[in-house]
Chain A
């Protein structure tokens, strides 16, 4: 075999070895801590250890018994659901002018609407708290929901805008010429074709609201504690395996939402393609 060809083969092999090493190494690095905490939550012992001392569900049972955990978990679900619903409505509406509109400053508006993704959420939390107290609103669940909306709406805008940009504008013209008014065109023709994008954005939005700590810390107040805040408090005050169990539950819910979104997107794909 000529030297050049051998060199080429060696280069080819080393390339793929490098790619796989990096990919698997990165994946392991990302997943391992989560995996450890989930495994540790099944311990039968009194402390968080790895490997766990025996296997049991006792800390999950204990979670159920803790009233404040149940309340905060329920509240987090409500806040995340409500914030996602509001974000979907606002985000889908905002995506339209951003994609179909022809006006000066469109790019600037786009950047502005994406800014919550870029700005530190700690800063946003502080700013929102000052704003809310300045206009005299008491800290409450609706206030918490609205503050979450601000940080999660960019996910919905982004994914919806991406779907809309791929949608043939002639579909709208076809619907209009067939007698559909603007509302019917939107509900019967455009919206069904945007569902995969909206579902993906909603899943991201839900998860970022559900496990948001920084903004909630500022806006939750003493009587509207969310699950991440409860977890944070438990880690601070009594670092027992119940905290690991909460983490496991959070991970589980996150996976469930992602799978749900995946299933929804897959379903609409089946209908379309």
Chain B
């Protein structure tokens, strides 16, 4: 179940939070509600303000403006150790001079729990993260994945209101990273933990989140479920940042019966009108995902097509990635699953092909500032 962001009481509410460093605005009027049990990711390139926002939530930085509200309580002036927010850092920040058990017990000791209760809870947490029998080890005796799990156990032991994950998988190699993503996701879901996850890795964000908040220049530009972000990016930045896309210069030729006619690389496409109607003659940028393009040898009779030459054919395992040169300057990225029956044909460099759009409903049109999105994109 994906919790709705409109629940009565969000666990975390950010109201117009800004953070400035002198003349630099690192976080710019960010508002966000996170429902109980929701997993929200702050995703953006480095320097977009996501880590600064995380520090504001945790209490390590006071916001310049706006409010951080945790379960109906304004937290702006509450010191970090009184917020009951758990954080897992990229390099885990385990206390090197303490055993695993002492690390996990640390938060409980700070809360002055009874000795026997602490011992029981530590055992329980170590079982939860599948590290029973590691109680007496020191952090340096553990692998990266094990340190990661100890860091999780340490944070979850105190039952925080909110869990913050600050690029926690960045230090792991790819295979382990995917395993840990799955493990953390399951653990967090099991405990119903409200979680904010910071990353610059879009695949990781898509795989783990209920909602993804794309940050750019200190602001949240779009916050939605992963499939919505992918299928209906709200602007060119998101379209370019998430997944790979063909961003092509186009020109509006007019509308008819709820359809927008747009000319792209000399070929007219009729796209369902999903946005405001634009005047004919306007320059726009047209986004077509590589998997939404198909290649064929014969000219299709039922739909418009570009004539092109395959200039690059790459194996990636499950998918073939092609680059097709159309006309003089246009390069289209096309990706086709290799096992798909009707397009089982694998193309080679130099093949002459017709390129068609599979699903016109999935084509997006943006206002044309073509400077940032040229039609020539190499693989």
Contacts and interface: CB of A to CB of B under 8 A. Distances in A.
Interface residues of B, number: 28
A180 interface: yes
B60 A176 contact: yes
B102 to A, nearest CB: 10
Given A170-B93, A173-B60, A272-B97, A179 B111 contact: yes
Given A174-B87, A174-B89, A178-B107, A272 B81 contact: no
A184 B82 CA distance: 13
Interface string B306-340: 00000000000000000000000000000000000
Interface in B73-102: 79-87, 89, 91, 93-97
Interface in A176-203: 176-181, 184-185, 188-189, 192-193
B97 A193 contact: yes
B171 to A, nearest CB: 12
B347 interface: no
B91 A168 contact: yes
Contacts of B89: 170, 173-174
B83 A177 contact: yes
Contacts, number: 70
A17 interface: no
B106 interface: yes
Nearest to B95: A189
A170 B83 CA distance: 17
A126 interface: no
Contact of B110 (A170, A184, A193, A273): A184
A83 to B, nearest CB: 28
Contacts of A180: 81, 106, 110
Contacts of B155: 177-178
Interface footprint category on A: 20 to 34
A32 interface: no
A176 B81 contact: yes
Given A178-B154, A189-B95, A193-B96, A173 B58 contact: yes
A176 B95 CA distance: 12
Given A272-B140, A273-B140, A177 B87 contact: yes
B87 A175 contact: no
A169 to B, nearest CB: 9
B56 interface: no
A154 to B, nearest CB: 26
A171 interface: yes
Nearest to B82: A179
A271 interface: yes
A178 B110 contact: yes
Contact of A174 (B59, B83, B93, B111): B93
Contacts of B79: 176, 181
A179 B81 contact: yes
Interface string A146-179: 0000000000000000000000101101111111
A107 to B, nearest CB: 19
Nearest to A174: B93
A180 B81 CA distance: 6
A174 B106 CA distance: 10
Given A170-B91, A272-B140, A177 B96 contact: no
Contacts of A268: 97
Contact of A177 (B85, B95, B111): B85
A268 B96 CA distance: 11
Nearest to B58: A177
B158 interface: yes
Contacts of A176: 59-60, 79-81
A176 B82 CA distance: 9
B81 A181 contact: yes
B228 to A, nearest CB: 32
B194 to A, nearest CB: 15
A272 B94 CA distance: 12
Contacts of A192: 97
A123 to B, nearest CB: 42
B91 A178 contact: no
B62 to A, nearest CB: 14
A271 B58 CA distance: 31
B107 to A, nearest CB: 4
Contacts of B85: 177
A184 to B, nearest CB: 6
A177 B80 contact: yes
Interface of A: 168, 170-171, 173-181, 184-185, 188-189, 192-193, 268, 271-273
Given A171-B93, A174-B87, 8 more contacts: A173-B87, A174-B93, A177-B81, A179-B82, A179-B84, A180-B81, A181-B79, A193-B97
Q: Which 7 A-B pairs have the closest CB atoms?
A: A179-B110, A178-B107, A170-B93, A174-B93, A176-B80, A192-B97, A170-B89
Interface of B: 58-60, 79-87, 89, 91, 93-97, 106-107, 110-111, 138, 140, 154-155, 158
20 contacts: A173-B60, A173-B80, A173-B87, A174-B87, A174-B95, A174-B154, A177-B85, A177-B155, A178-B81, A178-B106, A178-B107, A179-B81, A179-B82, A179-B158, A180-B110, A184-B110, A185-B81, A188-B106, A189-B95, A272-B140
